[in-house]
Structure 1
Amino acid sequence: MTDRAVPERAVILAAGLGSRLRPLTDDRPKPLVPIFGVPLLHHALHQLEAAGVKRATIVVGYRKERIQKFFGQYFGDLEITYCESGVFDRTGSAYSLWLARDALMAGDCLLLEGDVFFERAVLDRVLSSRESDVAAVAPFDETMEGSAVTLCAKNYVQDVRLKQTPADRQTGATALYKTINLFRFSADSLRQAVLPALDGLIRSGAVTAYTEQLLSMLAAQERLKLAAVRCDRLKWFEIDKESDLQMAERQLTPNDLGDAAFSLRPALAI
């Protein structure tokens, strides 16, 4: 383990439409879709609070009032603030990140997306890394699609690729690793590299860009040295469509949610 302090803050991107998960998202945002009765975002906040994170900024958009009502201003000892996107239906995740730029300016920060279930061991590996800036990754297998990275010999992110499929992992000699969409950034990297590049990207009009495109640009320009934290054989699921949810519930048991289920507030229906 390292003596690096747990970041005080986390930024969670939770503004999207979740259109591929309809009809489950017809009346709720994707982060409130449950696994064994526990909403994805509830589980993530539970993990962050248990790890010692003190403040979470959640970027909300689609059905934002459902998230704000469900969680309010506190989750245990974790203080919650919200950034609201009024253009969530025509912007990408980089724009959501840009809306949270004040939180990113405040110091070391975790960044995650609100549609990912991850067991505590995934977060522990991110937090225990000796590197300043890290991305949680896992080998890209036949069940996966979406953003992926290639790694150099020293396990730093070399290239970020969008819209990868199982067929892409079979081409060439370079191994692909799926991004789990859980990152840790140092205050210096945020202020000197990530935020200036993000601001330039959005102000140039690229409001539909994804966060992965920002990271790809920074990696290509060698402005961000992003270490890969390998999470092979750990349990995590990115829930984009109903088959993802079904696979998660096949491979998980209610015990995998730990005591997150017991911290639910039953008076607030989702």
Structure 2
Amino acid sequence: MTNYHPKKAVILAAGFGSRLRPLTDLRPKPLVEVNGTPILHNALRNLEAIGVEEVTIVVGYRKDAIQYACGSRFGKLEINYIESAVFDKTGSAYSLWLAREALLQGDCYLLEGDVFFEVNALRYLAINDVANTSAVAPFDVSMEGSAVVLTGEGYIAEVRMKQTAANLTDGSPPLFKTMNLMRLGSTDLRSRIVPFLDEMIGTGAVKAYTEELFANLIERRGLRMAAARCDDLRWYEIDSADDLRIAERIFAAPVQRFSDGAEARSA
């Protein structure tokens, strides 16, 4: 078993956040607050806590607000920005393609800028010998979006898009929600992931999502992606006002941080 943390991370934070309006009329979704903490600040603090040194953020909608809120340094993190000038016409895979030079620099974490999560989700990504790992949690009736089916060995066998509670049927394999937190290895980034990104964008698939990218890589291109199960952790993907209310309930009890970086939940 390994416990290796990459020193770099990429965060995708360019989108409109239209389903969170009016909260996103004047600010980007990654700066929407959960109990007083912006979603993006929570991610950056967690990355800093596990020893990440450099973060590349892809910005678009209200980019100046994100740059002002995070600066060129956030704690010990060095922050770089890549601007998407066509964020209103493209999907998250295009944002990732814009960050391809950062991806080619070596092992990295990949996060989407709308997930509020405990730091241990990042730690779970590092506790295995597999270069590529995706954080997942059991899919429940309150969730919707992309989900995965796992093999008996804990690898992702299949990615299913646009899942809802209706897909939780008896006799079907258990579904796990993708948390949009990943650890990606340098070898596959250079040999599979970035080349396939180039191929996708080159053929005009600029509106594709990262879930579609990895579904193709896993199911058709032989990419091995382990699943880090985060069943016991608090997290939530925030797309709507209802999601925000759920996240605020989940994180209503403050998290105590100890000197070694571990966490405990207050009663």
Q: TM-score, normalised by structure 1?
A: 0.92
Partner of 1:209: 208
Per-residue displacement from partner, 1:139-169 (whole Å, max 9, x unpaired)? Answer: 1001100011111111111111111101112
Partner of 1:128: 127
Q: Is the 8 A contact 1:36 1:254 kept in 2?
A: no
Q: Is the 8 A contact 1:193 1:223 kept in 2?
A: no
Per-residue displacement from partner, 1:223-255 (whole Å, max 9, x unpaired)? Answer: 210000111121001000011110111122251
Which one-letter code corresponds to 2:69 in the other structure?
F
Q: Is the 8 A contact 2:149 2:156 kept in 1?
A: yes
Partner of 2:47: 48
Which one-letter code corresponds to 1:42 in the other structure?
H
2:235 corresponds to 1:236? yes
Q: Is the 8 A contact 2:125 2:135 kept in 1?
A: yes
Equivalences, count: 258
Q: 1:191 to 1:244 in 2, by over 3 A?
A: same
Partner of 2:250: 251
Partner of 2:20: 21
Which one-letter code corresponds to 1:149 in the other structure?
V
Alpha-carbon distance in structure 2 between the residues aligned to 1:161 and 1:108 = 26
Measured on the aligned residues, the alpha-carbon RMSD in Å equals 1.4
After TM superposition, the runs of 4+ consecutive aligned structure 1 residues lying more than 6 A away are: none
Please give the residue correspondences for 1:2-41 in structure 2 after superposition, counting only pairs within 5 Å: 2-4=2-4, 6-41=5-40
Alpha-carbon distance in structure 2 between the residues aligned to 1:126 and 1:187 = 15
Per-residue displacement from partner, 1:161-196 (whole Å, max 9, x unpaired)? Answer: 111101112264211100000000100010011011
SS in 2 for 1:167: helix
Q: 1:185 to 1:132 in 2, by over 3 A?
A: same
Which one-letter code corresponds to 1:115 in the other structure?
D
Alpha-carbon distance in structure 2 between the residues aligned to 1:185 and 1:38 = 27
Alpha-carbon distance in structure 2 between the residues aligned to 1:85 and 1:211 = 15
Q: Is the 8 A contact 1:58 1:80 kept in 2?
A: yes
Q: Is the 8 A contact 1:43 1:257 kept in 2?
A: no
Partner of 2:156: 157
Please give the residue correspondences for 1:59-70 in structure 2 after superposition, counting only pairs within 5 Å: 59-70=58-69
| Percent of aligned pairs with the same amino acid | 55
SS in 1 for 2:52: coil
User: Which blocks of at least 5 consecutive residues in structure 1 are unaligned?
Assistant: 260-270
Per-residue displacement from partner, 1:91-137 (whole Å, max 9, x unpaired)? Answer: 00000000000000000010000110110121111122221110000
Alpha-carbon distance in structure 1 between the residues aligned to 2:229 and 2:207 = 29
Q: 1:257 to 1:25 in 2, by over 3 A?
A: farther
Alpha-carbon distance in structure 1 between the residues aligned to 2:89 and 2:221 = 30
Q: TM-score, normalised by structure 2?
A: 0.93
Partner of 2:261: none
Stretch moving more, 204-213 or 119-128: 119-128
Partner of 1:265: none
Which one-letter code corresponds to 1:140 in the other structure?
F
SS in 2 for 1:212: helix
Please give the residue correspondences for 1:66-215 in structure 2 after superposition, counting only pairs within 5 Å: 66-170=65-169, 172-215=171-214
**Higher helix fraction (1 or 2):** 1
Alpha-carbon distance in structure 1 between the residues aligned to 2:27 and 2:256 = 21
Q: 1:171 to 1:16 in 2, by over 3 A?
A: farther
Q: Is the 8 A contact 2:136 2:230 kept in 1?
A: yes
Alpha-carbon distance in structure 2 between the residues aligned to 1:79 and 1:234 = 27
Alpha-carbon distance in structure 2 between the residues aligned to 1:172 and 1:21 = 35
Which one-letter code corresponds to 1:104 in the other structure?
L
Stretch moving more, 121-130 or 236-245: 121-130
2:230 corresponds to 1:218? no
Q: 1:34 to 1:58 in 2, by over 3 A?
A: same
User: Which blocks of at least 5 consecutive residues in structure 2 are unaligned?
Assistant: 259-267
